[in-house]
Amino acid sequence: MTESILEVRGLQVALPSDADRPYAIESMDISIPAGRTLCIVGESGSGKSVLATTVLGLLAKGLTVKSGSIRLAGEALVDGGVPIPQKRLRELRGTGMGMVFQEPMTALNPVHTCGEQVDELLRTHTDWNASARKARILEIFERVRLPSPERIYASYPHQLSGGQRQRIVIAMAIILKPRLLICDEPTTALDVTTQAEILKLIAELQAEQNSAVLFITHDMGVVAEIADDILVMHRGVVVEQGTCDQVLRAPSQAYTRMLLDAVPGMTPPAPRELPGGPALLAGRNVGKTYIRRDWLGRAKPTQALQETSVSVHQGETVGVVGESGSGKSTFARCLIRLIEPTDGVVHWAGKEVQSLKESELRPLRSQVQVVFQDPNRSLNPRRTIGSSMVEGAMNFGMSAAQAQAKVEELMDRIQLPRTALERYPHQFSGGQRQRIAIARALACHPKVLVADEAVSALDVSVQAQILDLLREIQRDLGIGILFITHDLRVAAQLCDRVVVMRSGRVVEQGQTASVFGNPSEDYTRALLAAAPSTNFSS
């Protein structure tokens, strides 16, 4: 028989007494043989990530293992509900099991370079000398498609794009070729071409080492690409499990069918009739050049953005797509004056804001609100989410009572209980935190919403709800939306126009139906071809 790398029996993990249900995981039995991939799917808060942290011995404060056992290649990690000593778990992390976390800025230390952080792992678990360690790190950086590995080695996390940071985390997880690889949304921040490469890399590692993969994701297209077996969870309970074909092509449970039905397709709807009028947000020939200096003080310019233009009108959604590092987020930050563009002109509602000082910009900032990619970085961990949401609305003129009523209404819209306003960000799942960030931006009544990968952390059913919410808000208020995304399926369903970027330049733009149906550029065709299939019919 094939060796079982991970075996979980009767696992039960309890939530704190004030939680919305007794158990994060009510009862679970799984077995992942060597060479196979088990994908765990389910909505945000279903208990998927709790399983991963329980296996690693990194369970969050307040959660406790009540019963059950976990074995890694025959060795007990949890026995009768009791975890093994932390010393042995630390020895197994990296060598016996590797983990790719969902949010790279949480997993990476901001005060150390990326190379130093990977090197620390090798120093802890190997006896290699410094030159051998660096050579191995540069090799793995190249394998995960990081550009200029030497530069990335010396860079800090904040100097990289979201997708590049995620690839650093993936490199750390696979560098010692563990028998078990746990992936918690590892492709969430990656564009479709890099995602395809990462999935291929994980499959290669699995074949080389005969390892097992526990893959947590909300992307059904990724599930179809990589899964051997699928386990569906809902509110801590295993709803359905079976082989990939069984679950995707002939699901037996209504909940599974609902998840599959919520996956957006790649065919855009017919173009809408739009109000038109003057642009609410516009950038013309926007450029950004960063200047880095070497140890001799010599300038080393890096051109991140070149002659890039876009306009967003009332009631219109404009998508910006492209690979990680293509300049999408840099472009958005220049448009909303979070970073200063080097070239070009930026207008908000017809007013030129390029030359305004921050004190002059501040009263105008309610017009353009942003939802960032990583909610962990945009929500203050020391404040309740209620106080964070109310603050923005009050800063732009609402009374305390009006702001409170507004955020309570928004909590209803994002399907979170109003009582959750008294909780802190760490008490929510990743998808729930992103919904809160979206609601906080909407509380300020913006004319334009800039969404930087705003639904990338959400499961398909909640993603569908948020996209419906954005359409509803846009229909009711006539706001414009600039939507930065690597998910082409979301862009197909939400965006009226798309702008395709590569290496800091716009290579193609036009109506979504036209660009997706008949792309004029080879690069656009390559992006569309790399998108995972969502054809689950038998």
Task: Kindly list the domain boundaries of the chain, sorted by start residue.
Answer: 4-103+179-262, 281-378+446-530
CA 474 – CA 462 distance, rounded (Å):
18
- Residue by residue, pLDDT tens for the chain (538 residues) are 567 899 999 999 999 887 778 999 998 999 999 999 999 998 878 888 899 999 999 888 889 999 999 999 999 999 988 989 989 999 899 889 999 887 787 889 999 999 999 999 999 999 999 999 999 999 999 988 888 999 999 999 988 877 788 889 989 998 998 999 999 888 776 777 777 877 888 888 788 878 899 999 888 888 888 899 999 999 999 999 999 999 999 999 999 999 888 888 888 988 888 888 899 999 999 999 888 777 777 888 888 899 999 999 999 999 999 887 788 888 999 999 988 899 999 999 888 988 888 888 888 888 899 988 777 778 899 999 999 999 988 888 889 999 999 999 989 888 889 999 999 998 887 678 888 888 899 888 889 999 988 877 677 777 787 788 788 888 888 899 999 988 888 899 999 999 999 989 999 999 999 999 999 999 999 888 888 766 665 4
At 193 the pLDDT is 78
Handedness of CA 30, 36, 42, 47 (dihedral sign): positive
- Show the tokens assigned to 350: 């017809």
What is the spatial distance between Cα 326 and Cα 305, in angstroms, rounded to a whole number? 9
Residue 457 has a pLDDT of 66
Report pLDDT for 2.
67
| pLDDT value of residue 135 | 96
State pTM to two decimals: 0.75
Q: Specify the pLDDT at position 134.
A: 96
Q: How far apart are CA 264 and CA 512, in angstroms?
A: 15
Please report which residue ranges of 267-425 form alpha helices under DSSP H. 328-335, 358-361, 375-378, 385-395, 400-413
Tell me phi and psi for residue 203, to 5 degrees.
-65, -40
Count CB atoms within 10 A of the CB of residue 84.
16
> Is the separation of the CB atoms in 480 and 316 below 8 Å?
yes
Identify the helix (H) or strand (E) that includes residue 482: strand 480-484
Which residues face 243 on adjacent strands?
A: 229
* CATH class for the domain made up of 281-378+446-530: alpha beta
Say if CB 135 and CB 218 are below 8 A apart: no
Nearest to 12 by CA among 52, 56, 64, 76: 64
User: The domain at 4-103+179-262 falls in which architecture?
Assistant: 3-Layer(aba) Sandwich (3.40)
Query: How many other C-beta atoms are found inside a 10 Å radius of the C-beta of residue 318?
Result: 23
Fill in the amino acid letter for 371.
Answer: V
* Domains 4-103+179-262 and 281-378+446-530 equal at CATH topology level: yes
pLDDT of residue 10: 94
> What's the confidence (pLDDT) of residue 272?
87
Residue 389 per-residue DSSP state: H
Consecutive H or E run containing 369:
strand 368-371
Residue 330 CA, distance from chain mean position: 17
Using one digit for the tens of pLDDT, what is the confidence trace for 197-218?
778 888 887 888 788 999 998 8
pLDDT in the model for residue 415 = 80
Kindly report, residue by residue over 93-147, the tens digit of the pLDDT: 988 999 988 778 788 999 999 999 999 999 999 999 999 999 999 999 998 888 8
Contact 321, 485 (CB under 8 A): yes
At residue 237, the 3 state secondary structure works out as strand
